Amino acid sequence: MTREGIITKGYSGFYYVWDGNSLWECSLRGKFRVKKQTFLPGDRVIINVLDEDRKKAVIEQVLPRKTELVRPTVANVDQAVIVTALANPNPDFRLLDRLLVMVQFSLVVPVLCFNKCDMVSPAESQRVKEVYEKAGFPSILASAKKGWGLDQLKEVLKDKISVFAGSSGVGKSSLLNALEPGLSLKTGEISEKMGRGKHTTRHVELIHLSSGGFIADTPGFSSIYLPKELKREELIKYYPDFLEYQQLCRFTTCLHRDEPQCAVKEAVALGNLDKMRYERYIGILEEVIEQERRY
| 174 marked among binding-site residues | yes
- The H-or-E segment that residue 27 falls in is strand 23-28
The upper half-sphere exposure of residue 116, i.e. CA atoms within 13 Å in the direction of its Cβ, equals 17
| 22 marked among binding-site residues | no
| 27 marked among binding-site residues | no
**φ, ψ for residue 234 (rounded to 5)?**
-90, -20
| 116 marked among binding-site residues | yes
32 vs 45: CA distance, rounded Å: 12
142 burial type by CB count under 10 A (0-12 exposed, 13-18 middle, 19+ buried): buried
In sequence order, what are the residues at sequence separation of 6 or more whose Cβ sits closer than 8 angstroms to the Cβ of residue 88? 116, 119, 169, 190
| 275 marked among binding-site residues | no
Paired sense of beta strands 23-28 and 14-18, if any = antiparallel
| Residues paired with residue 206 on neighbouring β-strands, in sequence order | 216
| 117 marked among binding-site residues | yes
| 169 marked among binding-site residues | yes
| 254 marked among binding-site residues | yes
| 208 marked among binding-site residues | no
| 249 marked among binding-site residues | yes
Fill in the amino acid letter for 116: K
216 vs 224: CA distance, rounded Å: 18
| 113 marked among binding-site residues | no
Which of these, 90, 82, 94, lies nearest to 138 by C-alpha position? 82
| 213 marked among binding-site residues | no
| 167 marked among binding-site residues | yes
Residue stretches of the annotated binding site for GTP: 115-118, 166-174
Residue stretches of the annotated binding site: 115-118, 166-174, 249, 254, 256, 262
Residue stretches of the annotated binding site for Zn(2+): 249, 254, 256, 262
